[in-house]
């Protein structure tokens, strides 16, 4: 069970949160209720109360939701959430319909606009939704598609051979979750339109005039009865998603406009995913240039693959089926990996770069530094799971493997210089793998000899259930000492780090394991590292990074985030990683005190104190004047005495005492517990990855070898960093 105080979310790119208003707190320590972290016990089976006659359960208790009512009743089932992610999902659903038109060869341009009132318009120049009468519903096909779940042209009726949408719910779901929607269709030289309110048509499908335009234009306003904030569209999130779709749909033009700010973008990639690979490789040093690329049609299946090796130590592989990102891979990825490893081994042996009887390259060796995009388009994709995160079609594995064997093999033969550079990179990775394995075995062997002793610096908790345990990773021994004294040892463990850990972006696994701070962290967590990492073995399900609010603290935080993202990413994917939010200021006024987390909140509290002082002094001055008038026998007529004048009489006065915390070590154990570690009162940020590609780009920029991109990133974002002591 999560702590009672809400946990905010943050992306990896964020370094600090905006903080919250805080209430005066008691000086006495408040012991947490450890029960809040435990699951509620089930009632004894034999002591259940007898059912009353009024508790009967019959057919009249069964609800049947017709039309689009199920969507409004359970929106999370269809768009994931009613927060910002679900709000953006509405855009993805409508854009995907236009992308399907482009993949079918009928659309060349997609335009998306965020209007000033936060309504959204998506338009394409495809064939336009059919408007003739549907033979079964006896309504216009447009109305049928927009108001009926599981109605569409993607079920094998001939409308689309290839499509990302399989269930026919996209447009109707967006309609159901919108307070208002209007659809316009350009077809057969005429414009047709229909309007809806919360999924129900409020006009008939009507003809509005002649036009040369063909396509579909959808405009809607998300329903504030459903979503937490219907105005909270993030332009960058929209751009990242639509840019990716433009890469995957070669030749289609995508225009984006945000009328709120005037920002706009235009994308059109004739090179398709080859240009995507160049974008993903970014500023990393390239091994083979330009990237390898193949686009092959096999009957109704299309296979597009591009890859490039860099001098990086990590793999960036993105797999798509019908433009849907398969985060867990699938059969197309299995076929790609098998062919890549086999082809490099064959070329290496043929050219005496790998000994006939020597160790062959493994799948792990050929991953290092690889940037690859695999995009397949097929008529009947079979996805594992509701999220379509893994492709299951068996026939696509054979096709991908065959295409890679033929075309990548030819690429290596025809580009001997590039081939030798690639082989040099993967052979170096193989040697590093052997060295890392030896180092890892040494660590594990040492652990076994010591009875798997945990690091001496770790102050562990007594709780043994990972779901109820949390680990604070603390900067420095001083803060570690305060944290150890202030924690609740029942469920809170403390691991202080001495200095900065190794920059894993520039280091291979063998060097990492030899680093004392990294080694202590790996052993304390208990799940292994790299390819051997197993999140099921993690000893804590809340891992909280707690560093100072200065440059060194920010650097340590980024180093740790890089480590977790590169070598223990499942910790982030499962939502186990958090960032603590210690206060920046302590404001004292008389017997009251406030812990404040940013400058904005500090100014708000000080302003309230100023106003309170002025009101108090004005009241006193007014009462004094009244008393003097009464004593002189005169009637006071309520003359106003301005607060500013009262203050001016005594000169400027100090509003309150303010203490600035530059480091966690400045806080005593009681303060650290009250502000940062007490589950009842703390604020912690949950680390998430909304875009793996964007996260990878940021880490490569911040932690890589190339100085120029890092300098530009700092210059562009320095103004957004608040509360940082330099």
Dump pLDDT digits (tens) for 404-438: 999 999 999 999 999 999 999 999 888 877 776 77
pLDDT of 224 strictly over 80: yes
What is d(CA 491, CA 231) in angstroms, rounded to the nearest whole number?
A: 40
**The pLDDT of residue 206:** 92
For residue 423, what are its two tokens?
């082989």
Catalytic residue among 550, 613, 666, 670: 550
R_g of the chain computed on alpha carbons:
31
Q: Find the range with the poorest average confidence among 356-370, 493-507, 619-633.
A: 619-633
Kindly indicate the confidence band of residue 723, based on its pLDDT and cuts at 50, 70 and 90.
Answer: very low
Question: Is the per-residue pLDDT at 646 higher than 80?
Answer: no
> How much is the mean pLDDT over the chain?
79
Residue from 411, 430, 410, 418 nearest 367 by CA: 430
Under a CB-based contact definition with an 8 Å cutoff, are residues 494 and 483 in contact?
yes
**Does the bond joining 290 to the residue before it have cis omega, within 30 degrees of 0?**
yes
Joined together, the tokens standing for residue 132 give 């003739």
The pLDDT of residue 386: 54
**Residue located via tokens 């490099």:** 344
Number of residues that make up the chain: 726
434, 657, 682 from 671: Cα distances, Å: 48, 17, 11
Q: List C-alpha distances in Å: 409 to 237, 332, 354, 642.
A: 38, 18, 16, 86
State the pLDDT at residue 230. 92
Element spanning 622, H or E:
helix 599-631
CB atoms inside a 10 Å sphere around CB 55: 8
Q: By the 8 A CB rule, do 14 and 685 touch?
A: yes
State yes or no: is 725 an active-site residue: no
**What pLDDT, in 10s, does the model give residues 378-391?**
988 888 765 678 89
Tokens for 648, please give them: 């001016």
Burial 484-522 (b: 16+ CB within 10 A, else e): bebbbeebbbbbbbeeebbbbbebbbbbbbeeebbbbbb
167, 139 in Cβ contact below 8 A?
Answer: no
For residue 287, which of 262, 310, 261, 257 has the smallest C-alpha distance? 310
What pLDDT is recorded for position 77?
Answer: 75
Average pLDDT estimate for 573-587? 89
Give the best-scoring range by mean pLDDT among 298-312, 443-457, 494-508: 298-312
What predicted TM-score, i.e. pTM, was given to this entire model? 0.65
| pLDDT for position 513 | 72
Q: In this structure, is the dihedral angle defined by the CA atoms of residues 318, 320, 323 and 324, taken in order, positive or negative? A: negative
Over residues 116-127, the mean pLDDT reads: 95
Say whether 129 sits in a helix, a strand or coil.
coil
Q: Indicate the burial class of 537 (C-beta count within 10 angstroms; 0-12, 13-18, 19 or more).
A: exposed
Q: Tell me whether residue 255 is one of the annotated catalytic residues.
A: no
Is residue 475 flagged as an active site residue?
yes
- Residue 155's φ and ψ, nearest 5 degrees, are -110, 20
* 185 has pLDDT over 90: yes
Lowest mean pLDDT among 547-561, 584-598, 619-633: 619-633
Catalytic residue among 100, 505, 517, 548: 548
E-only strand ranges, 476-576? 492-497, 542-546
What's the pLDDT at 546?
A: 92
| Mean pLDDT of the region 294-322 | 92
Domains and CATH numbers, the chain: 8-20+467-583+679-720 (3.40.50.670), 74-268 (3.30.565.10), 273-436 (3.30.230.10)
How much of the chain exceeds pLDDT 70, in percent?
A: 75
Q: What proportions of the chain, in percent to the nearest 5, are helix, strand and coil?
A: 40, 20, 40
Say how far apart CA 152 and CA 355 lie, in whole Å.
57
3-class DSSP assignment, residue 619: helix
| Vertex 188: Cα angle to 184 and 192 (nearest 5) | 25
Task: Over range 637-646, report the average pLDDT.
Answer: 37
pLDDT at 98: 92
Q: Is the pLDDT of residue 552 over 60?
A: yes
The two three-digit tokens of residue 392, written as one number: 């299951």
Pairing verdict, β 492-497 and 470-475? parallel
Catalytic option among 259, 328, 552, 666: 552
* Per-residue pLDDT band at 282 (split at 50, 70, 90): confident
552 given a catalytic annotation: yes
Give 435-461 as a DSSP string. HHHHHHHHHHHHHHHTTSPPPTT-B--
Q: How far is CA 54 from the centre of its chain?
A: 47
Query: Pick from 483, 508, 351, 329: which is nearest to 421 by CA?
Result: 351
Phi, psi dihedral angles at 459 (to 5 degrees): -95, 100
Q: What is the mean pLDDT of residues 497-505?
A: 78
- Residue 601, Cα to own-chain centre: how many angstroms? 27
Reading the block at residue 375, the tokens are 């995009």
Residues 6+ apart with CB under 8 A from 467: 39, 541
Whether the Cβ atoms of residue 384 and residue 319 lie closer than 8 Å to each other: no
Beta strands 253-258; 109-114: pairing state: parallel
Three-point CA angle 74, 79, 85, nearest 5° = 125
450-471 per-position pLDDT tens digit: 444 677 789 999 999 999 999 9
| Segment 50-109, tens digit of pLDDT | 444 445 443 444 343 445 777 877 776 778 788 888 899 999 999 999 998 998 889 999
Give counts: helices (H), strands (E), the chain.
Answer: 20, 25
Which is the catalytic residue, given 223, 475, 505, 696? 475
Residue 191 pLDDT level (bands cut at 50, 70, 90): very high
What's the pLDDT tens digit per position in 149-184? 755 544 344 445 554 443 335 788 999 999 999 999
Q: How far is CA 402 from CA 330, 399, 545, 662, in A?
A: 16, 5, 46, 60
The 8-class DSSP code of residue 665 comes to G
| Phi, psi (degrees; rounded to nearest 5) at 714 | -65, -40
């Amino acid at each position: 069970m999560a702590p009672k105080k809400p946990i905010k979310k943050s992306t990896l790119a964020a370094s600090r949160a905006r903080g919250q208003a805080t209430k005066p707190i008691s000086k006495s320590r408040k012991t947490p209720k450890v029960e809040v972290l435990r699951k509620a016990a089930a009632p004894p089976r034999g002591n259940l109360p007898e059912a009353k006659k009024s508790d009967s359960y019959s057919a009249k208790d069964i609800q049947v939701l017709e039309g689009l009512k199920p969507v409004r009743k359970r929106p999370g089932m269809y768009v994931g959430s009613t927060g910002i992610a679900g709000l953006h999902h509405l855009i993805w659903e409508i854009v995907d319909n236009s992308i399907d038109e482009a993949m079918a060869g009928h659309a060349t341009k997609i335009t998306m606009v965020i209007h000033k009132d936060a309504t959204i318009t998506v338009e394409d120049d495809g064939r336009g939704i059919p408007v003739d009468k549907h033979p079964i519903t006896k309504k216009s096909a447009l109305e049928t598609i927009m108001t009926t779940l599981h109605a569409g042209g993607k079920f094998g009726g001939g409308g689309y051979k290839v499509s990302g949408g399989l269930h026919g719910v996209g447009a109707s779901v967006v309609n159901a979750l919108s307070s208002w929607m209007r659809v316009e269709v350009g077809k057969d030289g005429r414009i047709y339109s229909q309007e809806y309110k919360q999924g129900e048509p409020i006009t008939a499908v009507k003809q509005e005039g002649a036009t040369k335009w063909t396509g579909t234009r959808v405009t809607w306003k998300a329903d504030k009865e459903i979503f937490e904030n219907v105005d909270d569209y993030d332009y960058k999130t929209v751009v990242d998603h639509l840019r990716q779709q433009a890469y995957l749909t070669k030749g289609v033009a995508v225009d984006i406009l945000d009328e709120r700010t005037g920002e706009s973008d235009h994308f059109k990639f004739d090179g398709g995913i080859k240009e995507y690979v160049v974008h993903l490789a970014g500023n990393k040093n390239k091994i083979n240039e330009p990237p390898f690329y193949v686009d092959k049609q096999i009957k109704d299946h299309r296979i597009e693959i591009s890859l490039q090796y860099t001098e990086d130590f990590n793999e960036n592989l993105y797999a798509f089926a019908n433009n849907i990102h398969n985060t867990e891979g699938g059969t197309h990825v299995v076929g790609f990996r098998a062919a890549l490893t086999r082809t490099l081994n064959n070329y290496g042996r043929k050219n005496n770069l790998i000994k006939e009887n020597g160790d062959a390259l493994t799948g792990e060796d050929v991953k290092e530094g690889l940037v690859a995009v695999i995009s397949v388009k097929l008529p009947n994709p079979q996805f594992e799971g509701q999220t379509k995160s893994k492709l299951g079609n068996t026939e696509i594995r054979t096709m991908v493997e065959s295409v890679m064997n033929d075309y990548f093999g030819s690429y290596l033969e025809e580009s001997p210089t590039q081939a030798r550079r690639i082989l040099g990179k993967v052979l170096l990775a193989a040697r590093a793998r052997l060295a890392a394995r030896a180092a890892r075995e040494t660590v594990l062997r040492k652990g076994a000899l010591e009875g798997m002793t945990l690091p001496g610096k770790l102050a562990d908790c007594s709780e043994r259930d990972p779901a109820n345990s949390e680990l604070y990773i603390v900067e420095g021994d001083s803060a570690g000492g305060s944290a150890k004294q202030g924690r609740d040892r029942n469920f809170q463990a403390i691991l202080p780090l001495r200095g900065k850990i190794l920059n894993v972006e520039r280091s291979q696994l063998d060097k990492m394991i030899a680093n004392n701070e990294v080694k202590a962290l790996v052993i304390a967590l208990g799940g292994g590292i790299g390819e051997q990492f197993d999140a099921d073995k993690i000893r804590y399900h809340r891992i909280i990074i707690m560093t100072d609010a200065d440059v060194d603290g920010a650097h340590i935080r980024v180093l740790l985030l890089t480590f977790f993202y590169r070598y223990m990413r499942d910790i982030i994917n499962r939502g186990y990683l958090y960032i603590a939010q210690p206060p920046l200021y302590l404001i004292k006024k008389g017997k009251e005190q406030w812990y404040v987390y940013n400058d904005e909140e500090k100014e708000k509290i000080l302003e309230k104190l100023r106003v309170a002082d002025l009101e108090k002094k004005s009241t006193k001055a007014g009462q004094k004047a009244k008393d003097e008038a009464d004593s002189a026998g005169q009637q006071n007529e309520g003359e106003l005495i301005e607060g500013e004048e009262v203050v001016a009489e005594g000169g400027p006065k100090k509003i309150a005492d303010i203490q600035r915390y530059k480091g966690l070590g400045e806080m005593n154990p009681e303060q650290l517990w009250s502000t940062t570690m007490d589950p009842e009162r703390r604020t912690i940020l949950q680390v998430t990855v909304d875009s793996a590609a964007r996260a990878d780009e940021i880490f490569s920029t911040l932690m890589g070898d190339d100085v120029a991109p890092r300098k530009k990133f700092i210059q562009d974002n320095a103004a957004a960093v608040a509360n940082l002591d330099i």
